[in-house]
Structure 1
């Protein structure tokens, strides 16, 4: 089972404008799409809602609101996305009507969703994807914001404050899914923006989840990729956005991860993000990504090797 892991996939605001103007097949280069769509399974963090309805959530205190048009599902289908994580700080950006639209559009497009639902039980429920007889379970959660959290009577996200330990419902969910699936992928949306390394509480949580049965953890939220520890990619960064470039952390240079379930390694595709368009990185950009990823992984006990193939892949081993 080869799984493509896409970080923050933001299809709102400027990306949505390009989507409406130029169509769903213009946001990624054909070469990048070919590499991603060739995976057995594609998982992404959907960093927006999908709807034409709704009002902004708490606009006085929440500065950013991302909403994609219904045609965004065509982008996801073009990339062969099988499942998205909705446990993040943008799932309810335009309220409950847009949130329910998101779930409906994904369902109608045949795309699974984890990390959010009509109740806390639905939000916490994992999904089991079956490909070629292989059963991959996926669990999503977010450590922010708490006001998006689902309850017994309200829709929302699977919220887990991991600062003081990993909640029991999360370890139980991973443990139970590990008994019925061949592998368990946990996809958390955690931590602040524009950081370059995981916080200590995330390292503790990751160890707990691996001990509970998680095969791989693939996080996101920082908009900048972090290093990889054994079985844990702390942050995949962004895969598409319209954000300003921060020169110190180079959030315009990122990665897409490819996990070969059952093998002690990850492959990493270096990517370059321009305004509402993403392509495979090359030249000095690829070298910068390789150097930064190597240094970040070395701090976490893994090794990065550079392949000679035409696709420019890097390999992380533990």
Structure 2
């Protein structure tokens, strides 16, 4: 973001952006969606109230939405996720404004199912980034507006390369981050404008307790190119925060087996306050994932989440405050 993209305003305005990690609406969740698309069946009152506090809600949708296609498996992976068309209406009623589709499940049921996903979400009024009918559209940012501010959002994934869009084939915005941030990604970020530049990245391996080396290296490159907020996911476990980088937001809803040590069933909803200069602070609300339903964490679960998040952030040099059950991180030194 350059000075030329900023507009002169009167008193400072702020926007609250709610961010959540992997949102998997396939398999067991899909079976329940076939019966009802009421968000209350999938998220408790507390979770829905947290999202309602935000001006904008952005998720990583880790499935396709379609009633077409068949399992497409060039990598021979064990899991394939597809939600029924009514999933789009459920997300819209939940208050979701945009999703990133740049991940390793967007093409689980082939190109037709991906194109259906784009259509269903558009019909529900939900913006998409990170996937498209061709290379240019997969890499096209979305601009979200609220409170007089403009947030420019880009979605990319570092796996799998087989899902990458081409000039003639639908797919995701694929960026090989193994040896650094590729030129296309750096150029895309530098070309974005707005009051905040948000990069959603699906990066690194599953079930890791902390960001791996190439993820940390890539994060520095993204911020250096102009990203004012980086929102990561893929590990299924939340990681710490360092500056404007949320290394991994964990899971938001699923039907997964729970790892007894990493506790992928315990997570956070991240509320980021932004003004015309970018992110100001982050508030994280503890959540617990039951089978196909997410709720506000109970006191014991919240204690585990609080301890782990504080330790994860401390390992990255970040201080966390606890304020009335919410975990708070200052994203700007002067915002104490």
Q: Do they fold alike, i.e. is TM over 0.5?
A: yes
CA distance in 2, matches of 1:60, 1:215: 34
Shift of 1:171: 1.2
Q: Which residue of 1 aligns with 2:326?
A: 313
Q: Which runs of 5+ in 1 are unaligned?
A: none
2:202 to 180, 184, 189: 189
**Helix, strand or coil for the counterpart of 1:138?**
strand
Contact (CA 8 Å) 1:89, 1:145: kept in 2 or not? Answer: yes
Q: Which residue of 2 aligns with 1:103?
A: 118
Whole-angstrom CA distance in 2 between matches of 1:89 and 1:187:
14
Q: After alignment, is 184-193 or 54-63 more displaced?
A: 54-63
In 2, Cα distance between equivalents of 1:268 and 1:187: 17
Q: Helix, strand or coil for the counterpart of 2:145?
A: strand
The 5-angstrom pairing of residues 245-256 of structure 1 reads 245-256=258-269
Matched, 1:244 2:285: no
Q: How does 1:119-158 map to 2 (within 5 A)?
A: 119-158=134-173
Cα distance 1:185–1:285, how it changes in 2: closer, same or farther (>3 A)?
same
Give the distance between the partners of 2:320 and 2:75, measured in 1 at CA. Answer: 44
What does 1:51-66 correspond to in 2, within 5 Å?
A: 51-58=66-73, 61-66=76-81
Contact 1:24–1:71 under 8 Å retained in 2: no
Q: Any idea what SS the aligned residue of 1:303 has?
A: coil
Q: 1:118 to 1:35 in 2, by over 3 A?
A: same
After TM superposition, give the deviation of residue 174 of structure 1 in Å: 1.1
Q: Are residues 1:226 and 2:239 paired?
A: yes
Deviation at 1:60, TM superposition (A): 8.0
1:4 matched to 2:18? The reply is: yes
The whole-number CA distance in structure 2 between the counterparts of 1:202 and 1:60 is: 22
- Residue 274 of structure 1: aligned partner: 290
Mapped to 2, the partners of 1:236 and 1:201 lie a distance apart of: 17
Shift of 1:37: 2.3
* 1: CA distance, partners of 2:23 / 2:86: 14
Aligned residues: 313
1:252-278: CA deviation from partner (whole Å, max 9, x where unpaired): 101111111145421101000000000
Look up the match of 2:184. 169
Tell me the TM-score normalized by structure 1: 0.96
CA distance in 2, matches of 1:51, 1:21: 16
RMSD of aligned alpha carbons: 1.2
Specify which of 76, 82, 85 is matched with residue 97 of structure 2. 82
Offset, 1:287: 0.5
**Equivalent-residue separation in structure 1 for 2:313 and 2:151 (angstroms):** 25
Residue 90 of structure 2: SS of its match in structure 1?
A: helix
Q: Deviations over 1:63-116 (max 9, x none)?
A: 101000111012211221111000000000001111110000011111100000
Which of 302, 307, 314 is the aligned partner of 1:286? 302
Partners of 2:111 and 2:180 lie apart in 1 by 30
TM-superposed deviation, 1:132? 2.2
What corresponds to 1:27 in structure 2? 42
Whether 1:216 aligns to 2:210 is: no
Deviations 1:265-306, CA, capped at 9 Å, x for gaps: 211010000000000112110000000000000011111111
Q: Distance in 1 between matches of 2:271 and 2:151?
A: 14
* SS of corresponding position for 2:68: coil
Query: 1:49 deviation in Å?
Result: 0.3
Under a length normalisation based on structure 2, what TM-score does the superposition of the two structures give?
0.91
The CA distance in 1 between the partners of 2:89 and 2:167, in whole Å, is 32
